[in-house]
Amino acid sequence: MNRTLVERYLAGVASPVCAYLYDLDHLRTRTAGLVELLPRNCELFYAIKANSDAEVLRSLDGIVAGYEVASLGEVTRAREVGPHARVVFGGPGKTDSELEGGLARGVELFHVESQLQLLRLNAVAAQMGRSARVLLRVNPNALTVDPDSKRPTGTLTMGGQPTQFGIEENELPRVIAIANTLAAVEVVGLHIHALSNNLDAQSHLALMAHYMTLARRLQRECGLRLETLNVGGGIGVNYVDPDSGFDWSAFCARLGALLTDFDKGCRIVFECGRFIAADCGYYVTEVVDLKSNHGKNFAILRGGTHHFRLPSSWQHNHPFSIVPNETWPYAFGRPSLERAAVTLCGELCTPKDVLAREVEVGRLRVGDRIVFRLAGAYGWHISHHDFLSHPHPERRFFDVVRNADARAGTLT
């Protein structure tokens, strides 16, 4: 945790605290380090669904290869960083207006998720007098084929089983043959994103090997043009034990060895969101009440899942730190807990508004601040902000390089 940043913010804010803090300097430095470790012929795109704030996109501009988007609105967000930005467009439900808007805004590649989407894209592109470059998204038959390989696991699985995502592997030869008859689309590779939040580098490497084997087979058997193999994101963040995360360095080193036998004319594209943005953000709240019900302790926070839905959505105890606050403005006694288990709850009128359940604390008092780390991705951006019409949290972006400390939407 960037204690200097957090303490600097808390020193100048009134109670009750409720804010998102984003460390843009750390975001840039860490992302540059991720890119540097990638093997040659690999590119790292940022999946902006994780955090689409313009401040975040501008900080990553020129560091990542480009942006992965999943709606026309996200295309527009990516274009806010400048007309030069490379954009790839995914998503299972792209409408004709989104396909048209993506073409008009210079989308580099469309991830096509079905035969119908391919035909519709061809029709839209032909009507516009354009040509669309396409990656066919694959839903593979399995996530590994080597019985000695550990099957990768993640919080969400989009492939290797029945889902709404991608084209079933067995259908690909037929779809490739259809694509070869279309005048306004050009298939140049595959997109395979089968799972999310894998924490194990070795099993993720086995997944990459499986993707490459599948791509080579389709190239050999179906004449697939293979300029790009987009392997998606899926690299996880360990919210249970943040100091024991995905080993990116070892993964990249082993990936380099794996790629020595792969098609040298094919680039490998990663499109990570969570792995890039998670640890640049903090959600800071304040304890406004402590109570005991039926033998269990509860801390009520200013804020909750309407600001930070991730812990409830993924059903984990989100990692946090307690920052003591010595100010107590009342004449009556200050409620506190000593060496006890407590559930951290929000202010909503639902028992599901929980950010961490039955966690041990040494000391916790009303007025103390709670800092949830790893809140830079899928925090504010997936939350139901206006439920019960509570005030939104303050959102601040800290940028020493640009000498900026700005509220949401004001950093230039």
Output the pLDDT for position 411: 40
Residue 411 · residue 399 · CB < 8 Å = yes
d(CA 157, CA 365): 40
Burial label for 122, CB within 10 Å (0-12, 13-18, 19+), is buried
**396 and 322 both lie in a single domain:** yes
**Domain span holding position 393:** 3-20+280-407
234 and 361 part of one domain: no
Retrieve residue 319's tokens: 């990692």
Q: Quote the pLDDT of residue 107.
A: 97
Nearest CA to 219 out of 244, 189, 199 is that of: 189
CA distances from 3 to 8, 10, 367, 371, 399 (A): 8, 10, 18, 10, 15
Q: What angle do CA 20, 26, 27 make, to 5 degrees?
A: 75
Distance CA 14, CA 247 (A): 40
Ramachandran region, residue 98 (left: φ > 0; alpha: ψ -120 to 50; beta: rest)? alpha
Amino acid at 348: L
Residues 6+ apart with CB under 8 A from 159: 138, 139, 140, 143, 165, 166, 192, 193, 194, 195
Judgement on whether residues 255 and 297 belong to the same structural domain of the protein:
no
Q: Annotated catalytic, 349?
A: yes
Q: Could you say which of 278, 305, 326 is where a domain stops?
A: 278
CA distance 74 to 163: 23
Residue 412 lies in a domain: no
- Please identify, among 259, 278, 297, the residue that sits at the C-terminal boundary of a domain: 278
Assess whether 168 and 91 both reside in one domain: yes
| Model confidence, pTM | 0.93
Instruction: For residues 235 and 126, state if they share a domain.
Output: yes
Burial 181-195 (b: 16+ CB within 10 A, else e): ebebbbbbbbbbbbb
What separation in angstroms does the CA of 204 have from each of 160, 213, 232, 252, 264? 14, 14, 11, 11, 21
> Is 207 in the same domain as 334?
no
**Token couple for 208:** 């990459």
Q: What is the CATH number of the domain that holds 315?
A: 2.40.37.10
- Looking at residue 258, its amino acid is L
Q: What pLDDT, on a 0 to 100 scale, did the predictor assign at position 353?
A: 95
In a domain, 163, yes or no: yes
Same domain, 222 and 292: no
pLDDT at 36: 98
Give the total number of structural domains in the chain. Answer: 2
Q: Minimal CA–CA distance to 177: which of 109, 115, 116, 266?
A: 115
Same domain, 162 and 263: yes
255 and 295 assigned to the same domain: no
Could you state, in chain order, the average pLDDT of each consecutive group of 10 residues for the chain (412 residues)?
Answer: 90 93 97 97 97 96 96 94 90 95 97 96 98 94 61 52 77 96 97 87 92 94 96 93 93 94 91 97 98 96 96 94 95 96 96 96 98 97 94 94 62 36
Within this chain, do residues 88 and 222 fall inside the same structural domain, yes or no? yes
Residue 203 covered by a domain: yes
In a domain, 358, yes or no: yes
| Beta-sheet pairing, 42-47 with 18-23 | unpaired
Q: Of 278, 300, 330, which closes a domain?
A: 278
Q: In the numeric block, which tokens belong to residue 92?
A: 């299972």
Catalytic residue (choose from 18, 272, 345, 349): 349
Question: Residue 57's CB: how many other CB atoms inside 10 A?
Answer: 21
Q: What pLDDT, on the 0 to 100 scale, is given for residue 126? A: 98
Question: Which residues, including other chains, have CB under 8 Å from residue 403's CB and lie 6 or more apart?
Answer: none
Cα separation, 193 vs 158, in Å, equals 7
Same domain, 214 and 93: yes
- CATH number for the domain spanning 187: value is 3.20.20.10
Same domain, 169 and 104: yes
CA distance 27 to 15: 28
